[in-house]
Structure 1
Amino acid sequence: MKKIIMALVAILVVVVIGIAALVALVDPNQFKPMIAEQVKKATGRDLVIEGDISWRFFPSIGFDIGKTEFRNPQGFAEPNLAQFEQAELSVSVTPLFSQQLEIGNVSLLGGRVFIQTLENGVSNLDGLSGQDKTGSAADQSVAEPSPTETEQPVPQPEQQAWQISLAGVEINNASALIIDDKAGSKTEVERLDFSIDQFAPGEWTAAKFNITGSAGELSFSAEGQTDLLIAKTLDGAELKALSFKASAKDSVNDIRNATISLDSFKLGEWSTIEFAIEGQVPDLSFNTQGSTQLMVDEAVKVIDLKAAKVNVDAKGTSLPRPEMKIGLEADAKYHLENGLAELPSLKASVNELAVAGSASFQSADIPVIRFDLSSDHIDVDAFLGTGNESASSQQGDDSNQAGTAGANTGSASEKDKEPDLSVLKTLDLAGKLAVGQFKAANAHMSDVTLAMTVKNGVFDLSGLDAKLYQGTIHATAKIDANGKLPTYRVTKKIKGVQVQPLLVDVAQNDTLAGSGDITVNVLGTGLAEKRIRENIAGTVDIRFADGAIYGVNIPEMIREARATLKGQKAEYVKEEKKTDFSSMSSTINLGKGIASTSNLDIDSPLLRINGNGSTSLVDETIDFAVNTSVVATSKGQGGKDIDEVADLTVPIDVKGHWSEPAFSLNIAQLLKQNNELEQKAQREVERGLEKLLGDKAQDEDIKKAADKLLKGLFN
């Protein structure tokens, strides 16, 4: 036993003497030139070790190294590619004999990395990969003899796996700067602190970091911490208790607070994530909160989200409303290999607007989007805060016509402005939408179904079907944004629609009633309001039944015409200003800013009305001539007085502005159309002159004056 103790003491003395000799006789700083020479030979760059290198022997073997710099070639903005102020590393010796690598605390102080790409594409990372030396290595591998078929491989003893442990890692006051002069970008990490506690595979350890920096004009900061587990086989990892907090700001954006928390994460298992973002972007402030269940499969090919929820409170002038609440609930699956996101269950809401259904998104140069959505009720007017505005607010005050004209002139540039349709060239979109009740521009529809596509700069509404005011509507539309100006084509087929309630809701106008069939087939170039009015072309076919025209009482005008022909004043009868009809038809031709018709036809048991004329879509003025014939007996609208003018054609002029059309009896045309009535009127004038003037009525001057009066009346 004594001998053993003496042997151990001797070994210890030898080790101590060896270490003392090593410290006394070997200065590690003498290796600086050799290290620099080898680095120069391998990379062509200079390594400058300004600080001292010192040994450490207790409680483990290691070294400390002072300020060290790895140089850049000439022509770059900073002299060093990498540098640090102080580094420390140690390894326990005794465990090495048992194939255990126990690394002490690894420390790096004041580390900095500088990477720059010049305008000509040259980077200070070029030439560091060592690819120029692969040729000689390849030659050596070729020169080595390969084993012959008779050679048997020598069995190797089974190697015991190394066990690795780490006392900790500390990185303090590190920084980085990445400049790309070619792209004009700059990213800087002003400070990075990182630490990890005692670490060994198969055991949990704590890690945390803190970083501040900037990217262009955007400054950012972030901090986080988590518990980390590396599998013993080094082929997997787990996280738990992850928390992350960040902020970012530039001249127009301010992300004041963004947080993410995760309870745990392991491949093939579900995790719970919660997040919140609060900030301000131009004309919009927002507060977002959300949560989801997350799973990444073990092959790292599919990401699953379950019960994902996002709620956003937004405020700003850029929104349709000053304040809005946005909600999203969905299950989703993202395939990493082909960039496909599937949402088999989706619910989205914006205030009172809500849709549900399914959708998909595939990442590509032109993203591919598909959807199939439905909603019980959509009220666009309530959403936009518009709707049933008063007629007075639309028509304005007549006393301020000059001011109104000035306002219209001021808004001319807006009427010439084309909508931005560039988004049509950036999407491949197709989908369907079904809505139970729909309201837009104060028009009500139900059982709405819509099918649409957007591809290659073309929007195609392949079908819009709905119930509309006791009737139906089917519409198609196409907008092509590929030309200098967009082109469009629209078709509509409306059947059995009650016209008056539709006009009241949409235009606050009740001048027309009846059951209507309308067929629209129009096209044009340009979607600015002014260009639509000027360039729209096509036809609108109208067929109405069992209706009335409000604002004009044609039988009353006929009675007035009858009284005028008799030289009398028509008796006033209190009647509603409307003209009933059993059918009305017309084909309206659109082109060059004008809507015109030559075949207006209105029939009723009492009247036959036909007309022609035009209206300016630009000036909103009307110029129509309507001829009315009385063809019925005293039954119906007008009473027995109408019998006396049966078969009489009465011309009526419709002129003025859309907002205030004026209806007037064309007396001169009425008299010209009937020579017999004109002659009768002349005889009545002569008879009246004889009663008034006696024999003087035969005087030539008086006759000339009477003729002149009649001609003026008839013309």
Structure 2
Amino acid sequence: MAFVEKPLKILAALAIGLLLSGLTAAAVLSFFIDPNAYKPQIIALVKEKTGRELQLPGEIDWSVFPRLGISTGRIVLNNTRDFPDRPFATVEKSEIIVKWLPLLRRQVQVSRIALQGLHLNLIKNNQGLVNWADLMALNQAEAGKNVDLDEARQAPEKNADARTDFAVNDVRLTQASLDWDNRQSGKRIEVRDLELKAENVAFEQPSIINASFRMTRAGAQPLHSFRIASELTVNRYFDSFNLTGFELNYLREDKTATARSLAASLKAADMTYDRVGQSMKMTGVMLDSGELHVGAELSGETMIDHPAVRGSVAIPRFNLAEYLLQAGLALPAMQNAKALTAVELQLNLLATAEGITLEKIAGRVDDTQVKGFASFRNFARPETDFDLQLDTLDADRYLPPQLKKEKPMTTPGIALAAALSKLPAETLKELDIDGNLSLSQLKINDLTLQDVRLRITGKQGEITSTQAIGRFYQGAYDGSLSLSLHDDDGAPLLSLHENMDRVRIEPLLKDLKGKSSMTGIMKLSSQLQGQGRTAKELKSSLNGKMDFQFRDAAVKGFNLQKIIDDVKALNKESAVLAPGGNEQTVFSEISGTAKLSQGLIQNDDLVADSSRFRMDGKGSANLNTDGLDYQLVTRLKKNRAAPADAEQFHSTPVVIHIGGTFGKPVYSLDVSALLTEKNKAKLEKLLDKNKEKVDKLLDKLDKKLGPGAGDLLKKIF
């Protein structure tokens, strides 16, 4: 074996000698050649390639043994002439170290790449030009010259021998920062303490990535902190990426007196992206922030040609009000302190470049279950479609407490118009919506509505809706609304048609006002026009007409028939005034029409029919003040000689004035209208015989019809 060992020893000695000679030569070169002498050439090369000025005020140093390395001091890359006030990038120190021996095996193994004190100034000027546009254009031009990666993938065997493996043991970015200055909008964002550490960076191998930074708007609170950790695997063609154990932690800190900190974390078990297949997949996605927990499974397709991401999202029950408070978004006071304390949601989503679609929505807000779908297209000018079904909604719990006692007379159509009108003018003009909303039961302003259906469409400032209530106090309601806005400074114009049929007025008034001054079955139709942003403004501007009818009605607070009977009792020698009983006046029907002008209802054809009298009336009702000013003329019916005979009336009218408000009407009797010469003579004859009864009647009139009624009779007599 000696004849074999000797040549091997000679070859080994020769190789070691050549290696030592090379290292010695490199050491001699590094000692005698100063890399700083090449600064002008480096600066000229950067100028040639980028058109930008490079400054190298710091020292350049290099080493050969035991590792090949180069380090620099301060480096400054200037902006273009459009941004002369600050440099584009500065680096305080940089270093790169490469291992010698792997180079002999066609492997580039970098021990360390480090940048310290990197600072970027990103700017958008008043004309909308950004200070990196030229670099992006240069990069795209260079990318066009590169080898086609798809071609390279198709011939891996051919390229295997020429391939150079690349690996970096340690990549460090320390004390880095970034400023974003948008001079068009006046917004400035500062990124500070940017740190990046990557270990074992190599193709087809998992690399450990850790990064952190802080971000805030210049001179403002709050401060946003981010920390990112994951294992990243990239193939050598840069068209397949995998993140395993991804975790992003976020902390918002606000040092103002009323603010609270907010923490959140986003995790994903596995995230993959395949450029060739244009696919993406995210599994085990979980967002946690206080009481909020969001789980998701997502996948994407055609991610280059036409990106589409779909998946499922689940949010277990949590306290939304408390979470928003922690996030610094305090809700306004509501009538129910437990409002928005139990919220949960499940849905499927589809997101594309054109919009987002939410399907199979199944959620709960407090005691309300929600189902349906919604879509939002065209983010520049949003278009919204929805079809939502709710079981039971108590809207009162979400209204401000002060509104609990302020319940003006209104209709579903006017309330809807007022809600829409509160939106900013620009929002209304840009609103593009087409949707359906149905509720099994809705409670609002203490009114209970069942089987509620709303269809609403809107585009370019023209909004229309149709609304129906299948069970509205044992009756039904339907209406249509048209809202138009073409003047930026003016309030929306509305046109409203509404119909109510077989509505029980007593429970309706009880729920709305707390008590009812009337019973019966109501039928109402109206055609109205108005302008305003609130229910009050809309009501004060209303113009139009309406028809109304009340069947089997009773007006509470006075008994007209009993008053008439008491007066008639004076004609009888033995008459005794009937004791007080049911203080209401019954009508078989009340009907009429009305015209509206600036919120004032004028009615001149009121007819109220009873079994023993007929009442004709005219007057006004003010929707702005709820005030009433009516005069009712009542005539007693004569007994018919035969059922087929025409209705006959006594000549003496009973005139009643109605004042006060819808909630508190005040009735008074015009006694002077009763006193024809014939009646006056009869009464004078009876006064002496029935003084005690008359005094009792006058006292009763004072109590029931208001102070002064008895005095008026005394003056007349």
* Residue number among 264, 283, 289 corresponding to 1:271 in the alignment: 283
What is the match of residue 657 of structure 2? 653
1:433-448 equivalent positions in 2, closer than 5 A = 433-448=437-452
Q: Distance in 2 between matches of 1:570 and 1:612?
A: 35
Which of the numbers 419, 422, 432 marks the counterpart of 2:422?
419
Match of 1:631 in 2: 637
User: Structure 2: how far apart are the matches of 1:81 and 1:684?
Assistant: 111
2:298 aligned residue:
294
Aligned twin of 1:178:
180
Structure 1 gap segments, 5+ residues each? 139-155, 279-286, 396-414, 635-644, 689-708
How far apart in 2 are the matches of 1:160 and 1:371?
58
Q: Check the 8 A contact 1:388/1:505 in 2, yes or no.
A: no
- Once the two structures are TM-superposed, the CA of residue 239 in structure 1 deviates from its matched residue by 0.7
Question: 1:166 and 2:168 equivalent?
Answer: yes
In structure 2, relative to structure 1, the CA distance for the partners of 1:48 and 1:658 (3 Å cut) is closer
**How far is 1:516 from its partner?**
2.0
- Out of 52, 55, 60, the position equivalent to 2:59 is 52
**Following superposition of structure 1 onto structure 2, how do residues 497-536 of structure 1 map, counting pairs within 5 Å?**
497-536=503-542
Residues 433-479 of structure 1: CA distance to partner in whole angstroms, max 9, x if unpaired?
22222222222222222211232223322232321122111122222
The corresponding residue for 1:480 is 484
Q: Quick check: 2:89–2:121 contact (8 Å CA) kept in 1?
A: yes
Alpha-carbon distance in 2 for matches of 1:457, 1:677 = 66
Question: Residues 199 and 441 from structure 1, CA distance in 2 versus in 1: closer, same or farther, beyond 3 angstroms?
Answer: same
Q: 1:176-215 to 2 correspondence within 5 Å?
A: 176-215=178-217
Contact persistence 1:615–1:623 (CA under 8 A): yes
Contact 2:363 2:369 in 1 (8 A): yes
When residues 33 and 568 of structure 1 are mapped into structure 2, their CA distance, relative to the original with a 3 A threshold, is farther
Aligned partner of 1:318 in structure 2 is: 332
2:96 matched to 1:89?
Answer: yes
- In 2, the alpha carbon distance for the partners of 1:157 and 1:625 equals 103
Q: Name the CA distance, whole Å, in 1 between partners of 2:712 and 2:125.
A: 96
Q: In the alignment, is the contact (CA less than 8 A) between 2:395 and 2:444 conserved in 1?
A: yes
**Aligned residues of 2:56 and 2:74 also touching (Cα < 8 A):** yes
* Alpha-carbon spacing, 1:567–1:681, altered in 2? closer, same or farther (3 Å): farther
The CA distance in 1 between the partners of 2:524 and 2:686, in whole Å, is 49
- Answer yes or no: is the 8 Å Cα contact 2:292–2:315 preserved in 1: no
Q: RMSD of aligned C-alpha atoms?
A: 3.9
Deviation, structure 1 residue 332:
2.8
Aligned 8 A contact 1:550 1:577 in 2: yes
- 2-structure distance, mates of 1:199, 1:306: 34
* 1:402 equivalent in structure 2: none
- Output the TM-score relative to the length of structure 2: 0.79
One-letter identity of the residue aligned with 1:372: D
Assess if the C-alpha contact under 8 Å between 1:682 and 1:710 holds in 2: no
Partners of 2:97 and 2:573 lie apart in 1 by 125
Compared CA separation, residues 212 and 78, structure 1 to 2 (3 A): farther
1:158 is displaced (CA, Å) by 8.2
Percent of aligned positions that are identical: 21
SS at match of 1:197: strand
Q: Distance in 1 between matches of 2:400 and 2:437?
A: 23
Gap change, CA 1:111 and 1:510, over 3 Å in 2:
closer
2:27 and 2:65 in contact (8 A); partners too: no
Distance in structure 2 (CA, Å) of the matches to 1:475 and 1:445? 14
- Taking a change above 3 Å as real, the CA distance of residues 576 and 682 of structure 1, as seen in their structure-2 partners, is closer
After TM superposition, list the pairs within 5 Å mapping 1:337-356 onto structure 2.
337-338=353-354, 340-356=355-371
Distance 1:123 1:438 in 2: 53
- Please state how far the C-alpha of 1:553 moved relative to its aligned partner: 0.7
Equivalent residue runs for 1:225-240 within 5 Å: 225-240=229-244
Deviation at residue 70 of structure 1 after TM alignment? 2.7
- Alignment match, 2:346: 330
In 1: Cα distance, 2:40 partner to 2:55 partner: 9
Task: Determine if contact 1:330/1:343 at 8 Å carries over to the other structure.
Answer: no
* From 353, 377, 383, the counterpart of 1:362: 377
Paired residues of 1:353 and 1:383 also in contact (CA < 8 A): no
Judging changes above 3 Å, is the alpha-carbon distance between structure 1 residues 491 and 31 closer, same or farther for their aligned structure 2 residues? same
The residue that corresponds to 2:311 in the other structure is 305
Q: Distance in 1 between matches of 2:430 and 2:594?
A: 38
Q: What residue in structure 2 maps to residue 405 of structure 1?
A: none
Aligned equivalent of 1:456, options 460, 465, 487: 460
Q: 1:325 to 1:77 in 2, by over 3 A?
A: farther
* Structure 1 residue 123 displacement after superposition: 6.2
Size of the aligned set, in residue pairs, is: 636
User: Deviations 1:652-693 (Å, cap 9, x if unpaired)?
Assistant: 222334443332332211224xx43345557779999xxxxx
Partner of 2:393: 378
Q: Give the counterpart of 2:609 among 591, 603, 624.
A: 603
Where 1:364 maps in the other structure, the secondary structure is coil
Change (3 A) 1:35 1:394: closer
| Deviation for aligned residue 1:159 | 6.0
Partner of 1:146: none
State the distance in 2 between where 1:534 and 1:4 align.
108
Could you tell me how far 1:647 is from its partner in structure 2? 6.4
Is residue 2:278 matched to residue 1:262? no
Distance 1:4 1:677 in 2: 150
Partners of 1:106 and 1:319 in 2: how far apart?
A: 56
> TM-score, with normalisation over the residues of structure 1?
0.79
Asked if 2 retains the 8 angstrom alpha-carbon contact of 1:622 and 1:657, the reply is: yes
Counterpart Cα distance in 1 of 2:397 and 2:125: 56
User: Equivalent residue of 1:325, what SS?
Assistant: coil
Distance 2:160 2:234 in 1: 24
CA separation in 2, counterparts of 1:126 and 1:368?
A: 32
Question: 1:502 & 1:471 partners in 2: Cα distance?
Answer: 11
* Superposed displacement of residue 90, structure 1: 2.8
The answer as to whether partners of 2:228 and 2:246 remain within 8 angstroms in 1 is: yes
* Residue-by-residue CA offset, 1:302-336 (whole Å, 9 max, x unaligned): 21221422644314452535553252423333343
Structure 2 Cα separation of the partners of residues 710 and 309 of structure 1 = 73
The amino acid across from 1:112 in the alignment is H
Distance 1:477 1:119, change over 3 A: closer
Q: 1:188 deviation in Å?
A: 1.9
Give the structure 1 partner of residue 30 of structure 2: 23
Counterpart contact for 1:387–1:442, Cα < 8 Å: no
Q: Residue 6 of structure 1: CA displacement? A: 4.3
Q: Deviations over 1:548-586 (max 9, x none)?
A: 222111111212333567899971323211122222212
8 Å CA contact 1:379, 1:439 repeated in 2: yes
575-584 vs 325-334, which deviates more? 325-334
Kept after mapping to 2: 8 A contact 1:668/1:713: no
* Structure 2, gaps ≥5 residues long: 1-6, 146-157, 274-279, 323-329, 409-417, 641-648, 691-710
Quickly say closer, same or farther: Cα 1:46–1:681, change in 2 above 3 A.
closer
